[in-house]
Amino acid sequence: MKRRQFIKAAGLGVAASAVAAPAIAQSMPELKWRMTASWPKSLDTLFGGAVEFSKAVAAATDNKFQIQVFAGGEIVPGLQALDAAGNGTVEMGHTAAYYYFGKDPTFAFGTSVAFGPNQRLNQGWWYQGGGNEVLNKFYKKYNVHSMLAGNTGCQMGGWFRKEINSLDDLKGLKMRIGGFPGRVLQKLGAVPQQIAAGDIYPSLEKGTIDAAEWVGPYDDEKLGFYKVAPHYYYPGWWEGGSMISIFTNIDKWNSLPKSYQSILESCAAYANNWMVAKYDQLNPAALRRLLAGGTKLHGFSPAIMEACFKAAKELHAEIATTNASFKEVYDSMNAFQHDGYAWFQVAELGYDSFMVRHNRA
């Protein structure tokens, strides 16, 4: 519905409409922004989330606010999306915050930390539990404002050229793993590598790395990892519910009319829900195809899971003692996660466990 028609339909009358139309025009300037993403266009879930956001903004503003989306490498490399937004090279970046943990480990909370919240709890923490506030307080140091704009759900544990049966098998293992969780594996003797999506396959194929994680069955199938690393592990304990962010240059954000800020927030929330639903639609069929093609599915052993959990908690505690921003966000997230899982074990876990048993039957 056109905005002028909406005003009339609301019963404000012709006179009110005549007054309101110029005011609306002033509050809806014509803008053309650019957003760089960390993903190739072939990843139609991750890159698709950026495109869906852009389309929603255009539709909500009668095409007055247009955001052109660029894949990783078209303007800047995929792992420089945050920097490009912060320094004004582009107005926005669509990326995973934990790629930038080298600047400060606090960035990890913007995506996921080892043994952190699942998708539901991360979303609840962001929208209702203070996550938005504490993280955007931190992001101001880097000249950006963040919006939640996607979630992958719980990820897979990655592709391995050889089986991982014990903690000894992690020692010396060269693994592509995104962001901060690599430091957890490092405590157990592994050698983490941060590699952009397009470079993972050739690194696995050549044996430059021994293992790699990305997201889950649908995206991983597209990237072809099953061709060079047959062992597929779960769960991705480092990404229980990975959030995807849109970082906006903070000066550009502050210059927007409040109506545009509200539209961007709403469209980011739409993109977030779109991505969750898209992965839930696509991953089951992709996993079936992978298994039919010979992929060998494994769960990490309890011993490996417990050792990784212990190493993660030790690492987080160590950093919290020296990094005030990390501690503030960590405490906020932990409090929400603790209460959330106390509730989930009552109804959600009981119901899901029952349904999984019957689904297998």
99 is written with which tokens? Answer: 């790629």
| pLDDT tens-digit profile, the chain (361 residues) | 444 443 344 444 433 444 444 555 567 899 999 999 999 999 999 999 999 999 999 999 999 999 999 999 999 999 999 999 999 999 999 999 999 999 999 999 999 999 999 999 999 999 999 999 999 999 999 999 999 999 999 999 999 999 999 999 999 999 999 778 899 999 999 999 988 888 899 999 999 999 999 999 999 999 999 999 999 999 999 999 999 999 999 999 999 999 999 999 999 999 999 999 999 999 999 999 999 999 999 999 999 999 999 999 999 999 999 999 999 999 999 999 999 999 999 999 999 999 999 998 8
pLDDT at 51: 98
pLDDT of residue 180: 84
Q: What is the per-residue pLDDT for 2? A: 44
Burial class (CB in 10 A: 0-12, 13-18, 19+), 75: middle
The one-letter amino acid at 281: Q
Would you state the pLDDT for residue 202? 95
The reported pLDDT for the residue numbered 26 is 63
Q: Which residue has the tokens 């006179």?
A: 15
- Beta bridge pairs of residue 92: 35, 248
Q: Which domains does the chain have, with CATH numbers?
A: 27-361 (3.40.190.170)
Number of helical H runs and strand E runs in the chain: 14, 11
Q: What share of the chain is helix, strand, coil (3-state, %, to 5)?
A: 55, 15, 30
Residue 320, C-beta contacts closer than 8 angstroms, at least 6 positions apart: 326, 327, 330, 331
Q: How far is CA 208 from CA 193, 221, 284, in A?
A: 10, 20, 30
User: Which residue stretches of 299-360 are H helix?
Assistant: 302-320, 324-344, 348-360
pTM: 0.90
Q: Which two structure tokens, joined as six digits, stand for 297?
A: 């599915």
Strand ranges, E, within the chain? 31-37, 65-70, 92-95, 144-151, 158-160, 174-176, 191-193, 211-212, 231-234, 243-249, 296-299
Identify the bridge partners of residue 151 per DSSP, sorted by sequence position: 243
